[in-house]
């Protein structure tokens, strides 16, 4: 009996593999402690809930969480190239800037660093969803307003989608003792806030 060539055997085997094995795309979450699940179990974080939602509604996507607690826009700018090269994401969810604001960094510098991250992702043919944040009022009206406007400004400049405020709808009772990080009860709301603007990028 004649044996089939190895190339034909491999081709036939490949055709039997599920299509999803080839269609899977990485969605890179690139953020700080708000995306890293600070103070709660990782499985309870909005990023994990997002993976569960995508498995149901958009099974061709796989979430990769490259978020680091305490990360700043400058730190993110320094490591984005490696993250893009390592994960080759189809979409980047950029959730940075909050730590810059809480530390009183120059808003223009933060804006520049976020812009560089967006530019790196765009150069890699990657879609970007920008996550906006707000600061507590005790940082002064001028600074907080300048910080808040930074995100829509970036979204308009680069023509990318924006979640205006990640914590929109979170009540005071849904924050941890530090009054900065949401509890596990708030995580489904955060996931829905992100998913609302993410959906158009998954087509």
For residue 28, give the CATH number of its domain: 3.40.50.1110
| Active-site annotation holds for 88 | no
Contact between 175 and 181 under an 8 Å Cβ cutoff? The reply is: yes
Percent of the chain whose predicted confidence (pLDDT) is above 90: 86
Bridge partner residues of 91 (DSSP): 27, 127
What SS3 state is found at 168?
coil
3-state secondary structure of 7: helix
What are the angstrom distances between the C-alpha of 103 and each of 47, 70, 126, 143?
25, 11, 30, 12
Q: Is residue 3 part of a domain?
A: no
Q: Among candidates 51, 47, 50, 53, which has minimal Cα distance to 66?
A: 47
Look up 32 and say whether it is catalytic.
Answer: no
Q: Is residue 6 part of a domain?
A: no
In a domain, 99, yes or no: yes
Considering its fold, how many domains does the chain have in total? 1
The rounded distance, in Å, linking the Cα atoms of 131 and 96 is 7
Catalytic residue selected from 45, 48, 100, 181: 181
Residue 8 has pLDDT above 80, yes or no: no
Here the tokens at position 59 are: 């099974």
Say yes or no to pLDDT of 47 above 90. yes
Range of the domain at 138: 19-202
* Residue 11 domain-assigned (yes or no): no
5-19, 24-38, 149-163: least confidently modelled range:
5-19
- Is 1 a domain residue? no
Whether residue 27 has pLDDT greater than 90:
yes
Distance CA 71, CA 41 (A): 19
Res. 92: pLDDT tops 80: yes
5, pLDDT greater than 70: no
- Catalytic, out of 20, 32, 33, 69: 33
Return the higher-pLDDT residue of 132 and 6: 132
Query: Quick one: CA dihedral 86, 91, 66, 133, positive or negative?
Result: positive
Residue 111 near residue 132 (C-beta atoms within 8 A): no
- Mean pLDDT value of segment 186-191: 98
Q: Give tens-digit pLDDT for 95-153.
A: 999 999 999 999 999 999 999 999 999 999 999 999 999 999 889 999 999 999 999 99
| Residue 112 lies inside a defined structural domain of this protein | yes
Identify which of 55, 35, 54 has the alpha carbon closest to the alpha carbon of residue 46: 35
Indicate whether 149 belongs to any domain: yes
Report yes or no on whether pTM surpasses 0.85.
Answer: yes
- Which residues neighbour 146 within 8 Å (Cβ) at sequence distance 6 or greater? 107
Told to judge if 181 belongs to the known catalytic residues of this protein, a careful annotator would answer yes
Percent of the chain clearing pLDDT 70 (strictly above): 89
Say if CB 87 and CB 65 are below 8 A apart. Answer: no
Please check whether residue 101 is in contact with residue 133, taking contact to mean a CB–CB distance below 8 angstroms. yes
In-domain check, residue 5: no
């Amino acid at each position: 009996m004649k044996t089939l060539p190895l190339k034909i055997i491999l081709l036939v085997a490949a055709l039997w593999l599920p299509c999803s094995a080839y269609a899977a795309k990485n969605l890179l979450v690139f953020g700080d402690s708000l995306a890293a699940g600070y103070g709660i179990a990782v499985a309870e974080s909005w990023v994990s809930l997002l993976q569960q939602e995508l498995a149901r509604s958009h099974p061709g996507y796989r979430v990769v969480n490259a978020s680091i607690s305490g990360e700043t826009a400058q730190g993110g700018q320094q490591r984005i190239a490696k993250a893009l090269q390592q994960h080759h994401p189809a979409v980047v969810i950029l959730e940075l800037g909050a730590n810059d604001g809480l530390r009183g960094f120059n808003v223009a510098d933060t804006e520049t660093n976020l812009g560089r991250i967006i530019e790196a992702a765009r150069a890699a043919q990657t879609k970007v969803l920008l996550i906006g944040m707000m600061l507590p009022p005790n940082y002064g009206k001028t600074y907080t307003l300048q910080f808040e406007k930074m995100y829509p400004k970036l979204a308009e400049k680069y023509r990318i989608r924006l979640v205006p405020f990640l914590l929109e709808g979170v009540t005071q009772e849904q924050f941890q003792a530090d009054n900065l990080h949401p509890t596990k009860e708030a995580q489904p709301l955060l996931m829905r806030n992100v998913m609302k603007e993410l959906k158009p990028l998954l087509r």
